[in-house]
Structure 1
Amino acid sequence: MKYQDSLQQAGEKALKVKAFLQRAALAAHPVNYAVCYEYISGHNTALCQTIEQKLQANVPLDDFVMADLYSRFLTPANVQQEQLLQDAAGMVSRMAGYSDIAAEQLDDYLQQLDNSATQLQHCVTHDEQAGRALEQLQQHTAAFRLSQQQLLQQLQQTHQQSHQLRHELEQLKQQRLLDPLTGLYNRLAMQNQLDIWFSEQPQRQIAAIAVDLDHFSSFNRDYGNAIGDVILSKVARKISSYVQSSGLPVRSGGEEFLILLPDVDLRTAGEIAEQVRRGVEKLRFVSSRSKKTLPKVTISLGVSLYQHSENWYQFLGRTAQVLQLAKQLGRNQVTSEAMLTS
């Protein structure tokens, strides 16, 4: 068993879990309950630290966030898969390196044999016994060269296979960083990219555009989740089309997205956000079943700049406040953090 709680301890934790779920307005389904129980138990340090940071930054804990926490911290298969990927990638790299070294060493050895045989041939012209020995050496060298050529072909095959395997491993690792519905990056990819950006330049300026589909819960209720998923996917594709290769489009929640833009100021990020808003507003959707035009989809956006005096969860919380202002002002518009202080 994972926990060695007594009945009394389990009951006390269950009450705390229930209270936590109620405060966060979360349904008590297995995923949410498991994450909360793990958090209340306090054994999973990484999970506890992540939730504490989110709570301190006033980041809402919705079903999407809880599912992400469950996948990252409570699914053993993910941890084991990551370790297997790392081990396999290391093995493939070593195998490719060994095959290259072996081929070079064999080629050098044969070249030395040829050179030595040529030199001996000049020295043993009048020595019959030495001549026979040299002839045998040349025969063995020829046989060895033939086997070496066969081995080299096998090494080349192995080398090609190792490169193919390495490519497949990279693809598998990449898939773990993508949201399966929209194809945008997930939270794990976001954290990885942030680590890279800040390791390259600790004081790097990063702008964030928080995006939320307006009244999407009503849309799902009226037309069903299947059509809602299609809408999400197409909106995500439109959002991604406005992001340059240096930026990172992320699905951060159920109908929420986040665009991270390194080395971009607040004004430029606001202009990009307005382009995204207009692009999504122009989208038109038709039901494939009824052929009827569906209601226009709009988005609200909030733009902010990362401050190095805050942690990332505080920044996301502040960005969510900027986005909330856009909703309060009537939705389908862009708001900036500058509007919060003006």
Structure 2
Amino acid sequence: MKYHDSIQQAGEKAAQVKLFLQRANLAAHPVNYAVCYEYISGHNSQLCQIIEQKLSARAPLDDFIMADLYSRFLAPANPQQELMLQEASGMVSRMAAYTDVAAEQLDDYLLHLDHSMLQIQQTKPDPVLQPIINQLQQTTAEFRLSQQQMQQQLLLANQQSHQLRHELEQLKQQRLLDPLTGLYNRLAMQNQLDLWFSEQPGRRIAAIAVNLDHFSRFNQEYGNTIGDVILSKVARKISSYVQSSGLPVRSGGEEFLILLPDVDLRSASEIAEQVRRGVEKLRFVSSRSKKTLPKVTISLGVSLYQQSENWYQFLGRTAEVLLLAKKRGRNQVASELMLADGALA
């Protein structure tokens, strides 16, 4: 068993979990309960740190965030899955290469065979050898027919292996994408960060935290289905301002994060302002009532990664800057320079 709590300890923790879920307005389903129980137990420092940062920044905890925490810290580890994907991808790649080579060699052999038979037919062989030549021609024709059939099978196998490799790549890509918005998820973010820092340990990375203003109120009034449509369209608009070098991430229910390598704070703030204006110009109409829905706005916080902090501290500081934008009236951009100047007061 993972926990070794007594009945009394388990009961006390269960009461704390229930209270936590009520305060966070979270449903008491198994995933949320398990994450809260782990947080109350305090065994997983990273999970506790993330939740503490959310609470200190007054950021809402929703099912999306809880499911992400569960998958990252509590779901049974399965290192075999990634290994199997890698091995399958490698096997299919080798199969495709082998069939490519085999098909090419078979084409060369058949051309050489046709050339040789043409030369034999153009010569005047000894009558004694003619039956042998006739038999050779018949055998060659039969062999050529069987090889043509084999070539068709190789081509089919080649097409299938290439298709399988494409599907494997799609599967690997889907594991890195948020299914609702199509933006990258936290796994993709961590993979990309590891890559950036391995390329250049002291690399400058700017982060733009994005949060939809009053979105929970919007969901309550118009429903989650329309809310999902809004999220998807806002996500596409956000992504349109991110160049190929950057990474747009869905980091929470109505929260997004734009990571920009080799970008200074001023440039990141300008990009954030462009994103804010772009989202503000979006207009939404209900497909049922044909009525125009209220304007959707976003608040943004911009900060730079510092080598002296770990990534979770950086995300926490970015959340503080985002909170500053909300406290200043929402629908605006705040940077960590404002935070440093005491703009929060």
- Same fold per TM (> 0.5)? yes
**CA, structure 1 residues 323+39, in 2 after alignment: closer, same or farther (shift >3 Å)?**
closer
- Using the TM superposition, give the Cα deviation of residue 15 of structure 1 relative to its aligned residue in structure 2, in angstroms: 3.2
**CA, structure 1 residues 96+119, in 2 after alignment: closer, same or farther (shift >3 Å)?**
same
2:299 equivalent in structure 1? 300
Identity of aligned residues (%): 73
- Using the TM superposition, give the Cα deviation of residue 195 of structure 1 relative to its aligned residue in structure 2, in angstroms: 2.3
- Using the TM superposition, give the Cα deviation of residue 145 of structure 1 relative to its aligned residue in structure 2, in angstroms: 3.0
Range with bigger deviation, 278-287 or 74-83: 74-83
Question: Given that residues 185 and 250 in structure 1 are in contact (C-alpha distance below 8 angstroms), is that contact kept between their aligned partners in structure 2?
Answer: yes
1:161 equivalent in structure 2? 160
- Using the TM superposition, give the Cα deviation of residue 199 of structure 1 relative to its aligned residue in structure 2, in angstroms: 2.8
**2:215 matches 1:206:** no
1:146 equivalent in structure 2? 145
| 1:190-240 CA distance string (max 9 Å, x none) | 122222322333332211100111122222223322222222222212111
1:191 equivalent in structure 2? 190
Question: Given that residues 325 and 332 in structure 2 are in contact (C-alpha distance below 8 angstroms), is that contact kept between their aligned partners in structure 1?
Answer: yes
* Counterpart Cα distance in 2 of 1:80 and 1:38: 25
In structure 1, give the amino acid aligned to 2:163: Q
RMSD after superposition: 3.6
2:254 equivalent in structure 1? 255
* Counterpart Cα distance in 2 of 1:156 and 1:70: 45
In structure 2, give the amino acid aligned to 1:32: N
* Counterpart Cα distance in 1 of 2:73 and 2:311: 19
**2:93 matches 1:102:** no
**CA, structure 1 residues 17+210, in 2 after alignment: closer, same or farther (shift >3 Å)?**
farther
1:62 equivalent in structure 2? 61
In structure 1, give the amino acid aligned to 2:216: S
Runs of 5+ consecutive residues of structure 1 not aligned to the other structure: none
SS at 1:254's partner residue? coil
**CA, structure 1 residues 120+34, in 2 after alignment: closer, same or farther (shift >3 Å)?**
same
- Using the TM superposition, give the Cα deviation of residue 116 of structure 1 relative to its aligned residue in structure 2, in angstroms: 9.0
2:242 equivalent in structure 1? 243
* Counterpart Cα distance in 1 of 2:76 and 2:2: 19
**CA, structure 1 residues 12+325, in 2 after alignment: closer, same or farther (shift >3 Å)?**
same
SS at 1:297's partner residue? coil
Question: Given that residues 210 and 259 in structure 1 are in contact (C-alpha distance below 8 angstroms), is that contact kept between their aligned partners in structure 2?
Answer: yes
- Using the TM superposition, give the Cα deviation of residue 322 of structure 1 relative to its aligned residue in structure 2, in angstroms: 0.9
Question: Given that residues 47 and 73 in structure 2 are in contact (C-alpha distance below 8 angstroms), is that contact kept between their aligned partners in structure 1?
Answer: no
* Counterpart Cα distance in 2 of 1:184 and 1:79: 24
* Counterpart Cα distance in 1 of 2:107 and 2:66: 58
1:221 equivalent in structure 2? 220
| 1:106-130 CA distance string (max 9 Å, x none) | 4566678789999999xxx77947x
In structure 2, give the amino acid aligned to 1:35: V
- Using the TM superposition, give the Cα deviation of residue 294 of structure 1 relative to its aligned residue in structure 2, in angstroms: 2.5
1:289 equivalent in structure 2? 288
* Counterpart Cα distance in 2 of 1:255 and 1:95: 44
Question: Given that residues 92 and 161 in structure 2 are in contact (C-alpha distance below 8 angstroms), is that contact kept between their aligned partners in structure 1?
Answer: yes
In structure 1, give the amino acid aligned to 2:67: A
Question: Given that residues 219 and 228 in structure 1 are in contact (C-alpha distance below 8 angstroms), is that contact kept between their aligned partners in structure 2?
Answer: yes
Question: Given that residues 273 and 301 in structure 1 are in contact (C-alpha distance below 8 angstroms), is that contact kept between their aligned partners in structure 2?
Answer: yes
Range with bigger deviation, 88-97 or 104-113: 104-113
Range with bigger deviation, 326-335 or 10-19: 10-19
Question: Given that residues 54 and 314 in structure 1 are in contact (C-alpha distance below 8 angstroms), is that contact kept between their aligned partners in structure 2?
Answer: no
In structure 2, give the amino acid aligned to 1:327: K
- Using the TM superposition, give the Cα deviation of residue 81 of structure 1 relative to its aligned residue in structure 2, in angstroms: 5.7
SS at 1:300's partner residue? strand
Question: Given that residues 13 and 41 in structure 2 are in contact (C-alpha distance below 8 angstroms), is that contact kept between their aligned partners in structure 1?
Answer: no
Question: What are the residue-to-residue correspondences of 1:128-147 with 2, within 5 Å?
Answer: 128=128, 136-137=135-136, 139-147=138-146
In structure 1, give the amino acid aligned to 2:9: E
* Counterpart Cα distance in 2 of 1:79 and 1:196: 20
Range with bigger deviation, 20-29 or 257-266: 20-29
2:71 equivalent in structure 1? 71
Runs of 5+ consecutive residues of structure 2 not aligned to the other structure: none
* Counterpart Cα distance in 1 of 2:296 and 2:78: 35
In structure 1, give the amino acid aligned to 2:34: A
**CA, structure 1 residues 81+132, in 2 after alignment: closer, same or farther (shift >3 Å)?**
same
- Using the TM superposition, give the Cα deviation of residue 89 of structure 1 relative to its aligned residue in structure 2, in angstroms: 2.1
2:180 equivalent in structure 1? 181
* Counterpart Cα distance in 2 of 1:94 and 1:160: 13
2:6 equivalent in structure 1? 9
Question: Given that residues 247 and 260 in structure 2 are in contact (C-alpha distance below 8 angstroms), is that contact kept between their aligned partners in structure 1?
Answer: yes
Question: Given that residues 54 and 61 in structure 2 are in contact (C-alpha distance below 8 angstroms), is that contact kept between their aligned partners in structure 1?
Answer: no
- Using the TM superposition, give the Cα deviation of residue 308 of structure 1 relative to its aligned residue in structure 2, in angstroms: 2.5
SS at 1:188's partner residue? helix
1:89 equivalent in structure 2? 89
2:311 equivalent in structure 1? 312
